[in-house]
Structure 1
Amino acid sequence: MRAIGGLWRWRHNPLRRTTDLVEAWVALTALLLILLVAPVVGSLVGAVAQDTLQHTVRDQLLSRHRVPATVVRELEGSPPEADPESVSGRDSRTRVVADWTAPDGTPHHGTVLVGLKSPHRGDHFLLWTDTHGRLVGRPLDPAIATAHAVLAGFGAALLTAGVVEGLRRLAVRHMVRRRYARWDQAWDRAGPDWGRTGAGS
């Protein structure tokens, strides 16, 4: 970004090369894109992600139901497992055979994970099912959905800034290579006369 300051310093500098000025303009353009475009892209992506995730939350809240279930028996030899849907992921759950009734009135019987420390026959607990009684995960929490949307927007802004900076670096590298190539050509032209007496120096 030092090249941006060069825009002012090199205005009337007799040693200024065209590539110096172009490099400074590329740097200034990249800075403006990072400061103006990256936040806009991040905001748009965050807003789209928020709308999509909140729509998913509403759909899940309508299609998933918390129904009471009754423990029939604990499965023997089943060690407690960590619940992947818990906030901490450390809540231990036990595998049991249970009965429950779906929201549409059909009875169901199957193996489920419960948060009871020592489940016994007849213990009651709640589980999430769809309308037909099939087991589903708990609905997405609106606050978690918003957090994911914010992260998506922030990530999109960072990615945009990274792409702009990468393109700036590629452009500068290309200009430097062309500058070195021109220097090599100039040295090749001056090479046969270099150091000879009376060669015009």
Structure 2
Amino acid sequence: MRAISGLWRWRHNPLRRGTDLAEAWVCLAALLLMLVAAPVIGTLVGSAADESLQRSVREQQRRRHQVTARVIEELKHTAPAADPETASRDTRSRVLASWTAPDGTDRRGPVTAPLRDPEPGDRFAIWTDRQGRPAVRPLDPATATTHAALAGIGAALLAALLVELARRLALWRMIRRRYACWDRAWDRAGPDWGRTGTGI
């Protein structure tokens, strides 16, 4: 990005080459894209992700219901928690429990209870689907917004990275072309370089 600082100076510099000015313009364009386009892309991606996730939140909250379950007995052979996002080994136990499904039918089955030492008759809340089968807790709106914000930040950073890679590639090609021009100029000078009377 050093070339940007010299952009104004190079406009009237007699030693300025065309590639110097082109390099400065490429750097300036990349900087503007990073400062303007990347945040816009991040905002658009974040907004789209938030809209999609909030729609998913509403759908999950419509399809899942919280019911009260009652411990029948603790299961000695524990299994992985149904909701690993909120699971904690020392505060959750695998139990055989009974509950009433949203459609009014009685259900029974192994579930993970947020109880350290469950006793028969203990009550706790679980999430179920419409048929009364255990389900993971629905995503809450605040978590969905956080995920969307992270997606937007990631998209903005990715866009800035792609702009920087494109800038580096363009400069690399310009430098190669510049070196090729120098090589041709040296070839034209040939073995007579510096000799008296050769016109150089």
Is TM (by shorter chain) over 0.5? yes
Taking the aligned partners of 2:155 and 2:79, their CA distance within structure 1 comes to 42
1:30/1:165 contact within 8 Å kept: yes
Residue 124 of structure 1 aligns with which residue?
123
Q: CA RMSD in A?
A: 2.0
Question: Residue type of the partner of 2:15?
Answer: L
1:82/1:89 contact within 8 Å kept: no
1:81/1:92 contact within 8 Å kept: no
Deviations 1:64-108 (A, max 9, x none): 10111111111124389696221x856631111111111011222
Residue 65 of structure 2 aligns with which residue?
65
Taking the aligned partners of 2:122 and 2:77, their CA distance within structure 1 comes to 19
Q: Secondary structure at the match of 1:67?
A: strand
Q: Structure 1 residues 53 and 90, CA, compared in 2 at 3 Å: closer, same or farther? A: farther
Mean Cα displacement is larger for which, 73-82 or 153-162? 73-82
Taking the aligned partners of 1:161 and 1:46, their CA distance within structure 2 comes to 16
Q: CA deviation at 1:14?
A: 1.1
Taking the aligned partners of 1:145 and 1:92, their CA distance within structure 2 comes to 26
List gaps (5 residues or longer) in structure 2. none
List gaps (5 residues or longer) in structure 1. none
2:64/2:128 contact within 8 Å kept: yes
Q: Secondary structure at the match of 2:6?
A: helix
Percent same amino acid at aligned positions? Answer: 63
The 5 A counterparts of 1:93-132 are: 93-132=92-131
1:80/1:92 contact within 8 Å kept: no
Residue 74 of structure 2 aligns with which residue?
74
Aligned residues: 200
Question: Residue type of the partner of 1:65?
Answer: H
Taking the aligned partners of 1:91 and 1:163, their CA distance within structure 2 comes to 45
Residue 25 of structure 2 aligns with which residue?
25
Taking the aligned partners of 1:138 and 1:74, their CA distance within structure 2 comes to 22
Deviations 1:122-170 (A, max 9, x none): 2111100011011111111111111111111111111111111110110
